[in-house]
Amino acid sequence: MSDILDELQWRGAVAQTTDETALREALAAGPITLYCGFDPTAPSLHFGNFVQLIALRRFQRAGHRVICLVGGSTGLIGDPKPTSERVLKTKDQTAANVARIKELVRPFLDFEGTDPDCAHPAILVDNLDWTAPMSALDFLRDVGKHFRVNQMVKKEAIAARLESQEGISYTEFSYQLLQALDFLELYRAHGCTMQLGGSDQWGNMTAGVDLIHRAEGGSGHVLTSPLLTDASGVKFGKSEGNAIWLSADMTSPYAFYQYFLNIEDASVVTLLKVFTDRSREEIAELERQVADEPFRRAAQKALAGDMVTLVHGPQAYAAVQAASEALFGKGDLRSLDAATLRDAVAELPSGVVAVGMPVTEALVAVGLVESRNAARRAISDGGASVNGVKVTDAEAVLLADDFLHGSIAVLRRGRKSMAAGLLAAEGS
């Protein structure tokens, strides 16, 4: 069972541990019980959270007992940001997010004890269950008395806020105590002795170890993963401020697929190790192909396929492959279902067009050319198409049949420039 730590280290999923020697001894004598918490600050988990969810999955498959905690109480507060006070979610918003995230994590862990690869069923908990009944006086007496403010203010985010003009509220300052209480509660109720988290959570996580020691005389372990960044040091999972979400209604399977398909060469092997179940031999071969044949993008295709299959299922992977082939290869756009087509063209420039509109005007309307004369030249040069069918007549118009699923016509100029023609609503 201690092999799991070696596996995680090879995969680049270990940043820090409280005591590696003691942790190895505990894992070897295992199984141990460990947990990871996810705060419901949004209706979905995102790419960054997935690092921890995959780590929980690996520990469960290595024979250990895992607990997935959704923070119904900590989500009401929010971990302090280094720059500004969080906007608090309402209780109803938080409860709705908790419900969605509980359903989201279920496919990744075995909660029913039916997976032969898992020796122990996973446990799903909500920290609101033990925090809500606790009075403020009980919290201050039973938890707060074990903390020293001079140590709490050394946490990086808190120190940064104390130096700012805005300062920090007592609400956010107390977050560390709430997260530590989670570890103590799970230690008492389930014998949980380890917490997983991102490296930016180190201060909150070690506070839980300290609380277990002070309140119960026990010991615990912390294992953090590094924050994943690209070659320029920018966090993965962010695109113009928008997270890459795991929920299909927030990041479509097609957009999810394209994100990983376009990962830079310098980062793709790292992500293959962290997220996929591919063996060392398979990843070594993909690494070789990145070095020797980068134009084939074999590693990116493997990563994108594995991620979509894991998060959205094999049927979604087949659908996004078909969409990608239809848009960029020789596939048939008419074979795509309405949802997949809609997701695929959402990534393209678009414009409003109409039945009977000349193709030359449509090419201008969607932004593929600047003028009708330029559109005529594109057609005469053989470089314009509608839904993959070359347009040869400069006087051609869009027909009702050109609108796939009655709403979208995919226009192309040249080999790579595409846009979506969106059917104008009647009367507009």
- CATH 3.40.50.620 domain locations along the chain: 3-225
Supply the mean pLDDT for the chain. Answer: 92
For the domain made up of 252-334, the CATH class stated in words is mainly alpha
Name the residue with tokens 């790419």. Answer: 47
The CA distance from 307 to 254, in Å, is: 11
The pairing of beta strand 221-225 with beta strand 16-17: antiparallel
At 243 the pLDDT is 79
Other Cβ atoms closer than 10 A to 249: 9
Tell me which of 129-133, 180-184, 335-339 is least confident: 335-339
The CA distance from 222 to 20, in Å, is: 9
CB 353 within 8 A of CB 422: yes
124 token code pair: 């799903």
Stretch 238-261: mean pLDDT: 84
Q: Which fold has domain 350-423?
A: 3.10.290
286 token code pair: 């993909």
Give me the DSSP letters along 49-109.
Answer: HHHHHHHHHHHHHTT-EEEEEE-TTHHHH-PPPSSSPPPPPPHHHHHHHHHHHHHHHGGGS
Q: Which fold has domain 3-225?
A: Rossmann fold (3.40.50)
CB 182 within 8 A of CB 208: yes
At 236 the pLDDT is 62
Stretch 280-306: mean pLDDT: 97
Q: What is the DSSP letter of 397?
A: B
Name the residue with tokens 């541990």. Answer: 17
pLDDT in tens, 9-62: 999 999 999 999 999 999 999 899 999 999 998 999 998 899 999 999 999 999
Question: Three-class SS of residue 383?
Answer: coil
CB 384 within 8 A of CB 378: yes
At 1 the pLDDT is 47
- CATH 3.10.290.10 domain locations along the chain: 350-423
69 token code pair: 């905690």
At 2 the pLDDT is 53
Closest to 103 measured CA to CA, from 43, 182, 192: 43
Beta bridge partners of 51: none
Indicate the pLDDT class of residue 87, thresholds 50, 70 and 90.
confident
pTM for the structure as a whole: 0.89
pLDDT in tens, 380-398: 999 999 999 999 999 999 9
CA 168 to chain centre: 29
* Residue 251, pLDDT above cutoff 90: yes
pLDDT in tens, 361-378: 999 999 999 999 999 999
The CA distance from 290 to 281, in Å, is: 14
Q: What is the DSSP letter of 228?
A: P
Indicate the pLDDT class of residue 280, thresholds 50, 70 and 90.
very high
Please provide residue 225's backbone torsions phi and psi, each rounded to the nearest 5 degrees: -105, 150
Stretch 176-182: mean pLDDT: 95
The CA distance from 358 to 176, in Å, is: 63
CB 398 within 8 A of CB 359: yes
The CA distance from 390 to 162, in Å, is: 63
* Residue 233, pLDDT above cutoff 80: no
Determine the length of the chain: 428
The CA distance from 101 to 248, in Å, is: 13
- CATH 1.10.240.10 domain locations along the chain: 252-334
pLDDT in tens, 395-417: 999 999 999 999 999 999 988 89
Indicate the pLDDT class of residue 240, thresholds 50, 70 and 90.
very low
At 88 the pLDDT is 87
At 381 the pLDDT is 92
Indicate the pLDDT class of residue 237, thresholds 50, 70 and 90.
low
Closest to 208 measured CA to CA, from 188, 222, 226, 227: 222
CB 57 within 8 A of CB 108: yes
Give me the DSSP letters along 284-349.
Answer: HHHHHHHHH-GGG-HHHHHHHHHHHHHHH-HHHHHHHHHHHHHHHSS--GGGS-HHHHHHHHTTS-
At 406 the pLDDT is 94
Indicate the pLDDT class of residue 345, thresholds 50, 70 and 90.
very high
What number of helices (H) and strands (E) belong to the chain?
Answer: 20, 13
pLDDT in tens, 115-170: 999 999 999 999 999 999 999 999 999 999 999 988 888 887 788 888 887 888 88
Indicate the pLDDT class of residue 225, thresholds 50, 70 and 90.
very high
CB 388 within 8 A of CB 320: no
Integer angstrom CA distances of residue 103 from 49, 111, 119, 306? 15, 11, 22, 21
